[in-house]
Amino acid sequence: MSNLNPGMDAETFDQFIDQLRRYVRDRLIPAERDIIESDCIPPEIIDELREMGLFGITIPEEYGGAGMNISQYTRTIRELAYAMPCFRSIISITIGMFTSAMKNGATEAQRQEWLPKLAAGTITSFGLTEPGSGSDSAGMQTMAVRSSDGGWVLNGTKRYITNAPQAEVALIMARTSKEPLPKNAHVSAFIVPMNTPGVSVGKSDKKMGQAAGHIADIILEDVHLPAEALLGAEEGKGFITAMKSLDNGRLSVAAASIGYAQRALDSALRYATERKAFGEPIANFQLIQQMLADSDIEIYAATTMLEDAARRADAGENVLRKAAAAKVFASEACGRIVDRVVQVYGGAGYLAEYEAERFFRDARVYRIYEGTTQILQLQIAKHMLREFNAGVN
């Protein structure tokens, strides 16, 4: 398998990962309790993430980024996701989805304008989901119509949008045709600065978990945009661009699931070693050991799937099925692992005083992010059947 995307120099990358691992354990994890209580990442930590270059890890060097390939990107997310999920959330849309859309679908002028800003730490949002539609583009209601000056006017509402309260710019999917068109050509993508008149953000939604990782509605009311706001300067490419970006988003969620599952398992190992029952550590009990071993097995399997999908993406393969499969397995495995961790903790696992309860709540959304397990199962099966009927081995 030829490697078309070598990414960052291997030695430099290893040094970066070592630095990131120390930063996560020495700086981010000790800050978690205060962040949970305030439901806010301190501005100084966001500035530190910028200074480390985390917002630009996948952006080519000529635009001010680190030029990591997909394998390095997912490894970085795994390390960062060992800490509470809000740290990944604040950067993941920029490095995974917005940047991917810019690289895959933008004009060179758009790349020159936006990629250096993204690399410097611009917080972004990705506006696809709506109150009445998510993966179903035919149900999308947000409309973009031509204005008299050759620009665009957008109206609609986007729902459950990560980073919406903090975002400085959003990539918004909107219909440019009232009638559904083949290959979702009725949907286009627009670069929308959040300070544009007519753009407003709803109240942050209260969630089951993921403290300090904010989601909210983005409301668009007669939002006037210049012609250059149309991604790629071409109508009808928005949904295709979004779906290509979602491959990276799904790999990011798989990586986040693995990183957080490892954090939860390490917590369970520590607790099982310290907690005693019947005069000995509960880690000596075989059924506790079975839960620990099953969790380690699933993390290994998920990691192997993710690394394979990322390696194939770097080689230029279409990884839609592989990315979906890795995301489904890793997120479902994470759910099983955090459930076992609560069980290892026993009664303490149900108390907010202990971290197992938080792991359980935080992890649940990974099976929903970037396409639910069920949607991705349908997508995988559809492509399997298409290939079978076409005679592809």
3-state SS class at 57: coil
Which residues make Cβ contacts (< 8 Å) with residue 263, sequence separation at least 6?
A: 81, 82, 83, 359
- State the Cα–Cα distance between residues 112 and 90, nearest whole angstrom: 23
Contacts 24+ apart (CB under 8 A), 179-182: 180/137, 180/138, 181/236
Helices (H) and strands (E) in the chain — how many of each? 12, 9
- State the Cα–Cα distance between residues 41 and 35, nearest whole angstrom: 6
Residue 160 dihedral angles phi and psi, to the nearest 5°? 60, 45
Residue 331 CB neighbour total at 10 angstroms: 28
- State the Cα–Cα distance between residues 371 and 67, nearest whole angstrom: 27
Q: Is 387 an annotated catalytic residue?
A: no
DSSP symbols for 80-142: HTTS-THHHHHHHIIIIIIHHHHHHH--HHHHHHHHHHHHTT--EEEE--BTTBSS-GGG---
3-state SS class at 367: helix
Quote the longest CA-to-CA distance of the chain: 80
- State the Cα–Cα distance between residues 305 and 323, nearest whole angstrom: 9
What is the DSSP code (8-state) at residue 230?
A: B
DSSP symbols for 155-211: EEEEEEEETTTT-SEEEEEEESSSS--GGGTTEEEEEEETTSTTEEE-PPPP-SS-T
- Of the candidates 278, 286, 292, 297, which has an alpha carbon nearest to the alpha carbon of residue 345? 292
- The one catalytic residue among 79, 168, 370, 387: 370
- State the Cα–Cα distance between residues 246 and 24, nearest whole angstrom: 26
3-state SS class at 112: helix
Residue 139 dihedral angles phi and psi, to the nearest 5°? -90, 0
- Look-up of token digits 């076409």: 390
Amino acid at 235: E
Q: Would you name the residues annotated as active-site residues? A: 370
